[in-house]
Amino acid sequence: MKANKPKSTNPSLKKSQKSKKSPVENSQKKSSMMLLNFGILGIVGGGAAMAAGFLTPGISSFNAVFPEVPSKIAENNNIYSNLTGLTLGSAEELTAPAFCVQTPNGMDGARPQAGLNEAGVVFEAIAETGITRFAAIYQNPSSAIIGPIRSLRLYYLEWDTPFDCTIVHAGGAPDALAAVSRGYKDLTENYTYMYRGTYGARRWNNLFTTSSYLLKMNEDRGYGGSEIKGFTRMTPEQSAKSRVDETAAEKLVIYKASTGKTSELSAKTSAIAVNFGGMANFNVRYNYDPAYNVYLRSYASGTPHDIYECPAGDLGEKNPEDTCTLKQLAPAVVAVMIVPEKRASDNYHEDITTVGSGEAYIFQNGVAVKGTWKKPSVAEQIRFYDENGAEIALAPGQTFVEAVPGYGSVEY
């Protein structure tokens, strides 16, 4: 059985395309649902399920195997980004400066964000009172507008650290500001390299930057390039071979990583619900689009998460509403980490533990793998492992990492 070849890993899904339903949505119901609530895992659902490595009767297995973890430069001499795993045009791009931009997601004028589609990796976690925020990592950016920009939290900084990026923010929590002052490349609110938009509806979420400003700042301050410690990735060619065959009815996929071990059978899935807590406006849904091999991101209400896709180049200090077009976010990989989280001592901000390990769920190429995340230290990158201990290589392309507290849930 031959796996389908993806048409694109970086589609341009314009607003006019939002009404198009994924073929999976039209023809397949959810194959399984997994709930994590207060650390308790249950399995529910209809047509397919996975429990203790056994297949539900009547569900056939699909003997596709994920390839070995790739080297940075493959035997075909292609060069792959340490950030995204996508093919680069030159070796110089490997060490181009990276920027980690703290981007809000509140209902108070933060949406739609601008340029977020260009971020190679996006961390999402609760910033305060159930409201999520993004740490978006860019390398080789070209977007005319990036933002809005908001304040820094210590756990975002600790996730940012392995990317060797300039931390771009507007102030922050006291512990985060103390930490970022100790040897990080840092750009806080600064009107040489940032500007305020002019639309009052955004209120305090109107601080923006541009790719040109970020690159100029990097040159002015002599920050140089970035030595990114990225996630373990498959090459685009390897990822294409690991796609599920959409012509089959229901099936599961076997995973193989660098150790050569075979994992528990992993469930094919077309719909994901990531619930950070009780505030529905910040819970998200992903629907797999097999035509583009991406996960269309929406809010729990079903409203697509649109952002402003902006032209490349230096257009000056513009409002995104005047210059950019709306596009639905559609990452290639969704990684959900269950993290230790509690309310900070001020009873307002969140305190998230980033170093250690916990449960993880990796969604890519139309399938789900349950496993574990591990981050041995602040300086080291997160690694993902299946239930047999084999490291999971992520597909190339934009990756959303969802840090969900133990009282939240992930359903698929």
pLDDT in tens, 162-212: 999 999 999 999 999 999 999 999 999 999 999 999 999 999 999 999 999
Confidence of residue 10 (pLDDT cuts 50, 70, 90): very low
**What pLDDT, on a 0 to 100 scale, did the predictor assign at position 229?**
98
Q: Where do the domains of the chain lie? A: 23-69+231-292+331-411
d(CA 351, CA 162): 20
Confidence of residue 77 (pLDDT cuts 50, 70, 90): confident
d(CA 50, CA 240): 24
Which single residue is written with the structure tokens 């910040």?
A: 282
**What pLDDT, on a 0 to 100 scale, did the predictor assign at position 267?**
67
**What pLDDT, on a 0 to 100 scale, did the predictor assign at position 349?**
73
**What pLDDT, on a 0 to 100 scale, did the predictor assign at position 289?**
94
Residue 279's Cβ-count burial label (10 Å; 0-12, 13-18, 19+) is middle
Percent of the chain with pLDDT strictly greater than 70: 75
**What pLDDT, on a 0 to 100 scale, did the predictor assign at position 83?**
98
**What pLDDT, on a 0 to 100 scale, did the predictor assign at position 45?**
31
d(CA 406, CA 40): 9
pLDDT above 80: residue 249: no
d(CA 358, CA 315): 44
Of 332, 331, 367, residue with least CA distance to 248: 367
Phi, psi at 73, each rounded to 5°: -120, 110
Q: Which residue has the higher pLDDT, 27 or 278?
A: 278
DSSP 56: P
- The per-residue b/e assignment along 86-115, b for 16 or more CB within 10 angstroms, e otherwise, is bbbeeeebbebbbbbbbbbbbeebbbbbbb
Look up residue 304 and give its two tokens. Answer: 């697509």
Any idea which of 182-186, 249-253, 336-340, 352-356 has the lowest mean pLDDT?
249-253
d(CA 378, CA 154): 11
Tell me the residue ranges of DSSP E strands in 197-283. 207-208, 251-254, 266-267, 271-275
**What pLDDT, on a 0 to 100 scale, did the predictor assign at position 266?**
56
Look up residue 176 and give its two tokens. Answer: 């985060």
Contact at 8 Å (CB) between 208 and 148?
yes
**What pLDDT, on a 0 to 100 scale, did the predictor assign at position 237?**
84
Question: SS3 helix, strand, coil % of the chain, rounded to 5?
Answer: 15, 35, 50
Sign, CA torsion 271/82/121/141: negative
Of 352, 371, 313, 339, residue with least CA distance to 145: 313
Which single residue is written with the structure tokens 């060619």?
A: 237
Which single residue is written with the structure tokens 């690991």?
A: 242
Confidence of residue 240 (pLDDT cuts 50, 70, 90): confident
**What pLDDT, on a 0 to 100 scale, did the predictor assign at position 54?**
22
Taking residue 240's Cβ as centre, other Cβ atoms within 10 Å add up to: 19
pLDDT above 70: residue 32: no
Instruction: Round the average pLDDT of the chain to a whole number and report it.
Output: 80
134-144 tens-digit pLDDT? 999 999 999 99
Phi, psi at 60, each rounded to 5°: -85, 150
Taking residue 281's Cβ as centre, other Cβ atoms within 10 Å add up to: 16
Any idea which of 20-29, 222-231, 275-284, 396-405 has the lowest mean pLDDT?
20-29
DSSP 20: P
Q: Which residue has the higher pLDDT, 265 or 130?
A: 130
Rg of the chain over CA atoms, in angstroms?
20
Of 93, 137, 94, residue with least CA distance to 115: 137
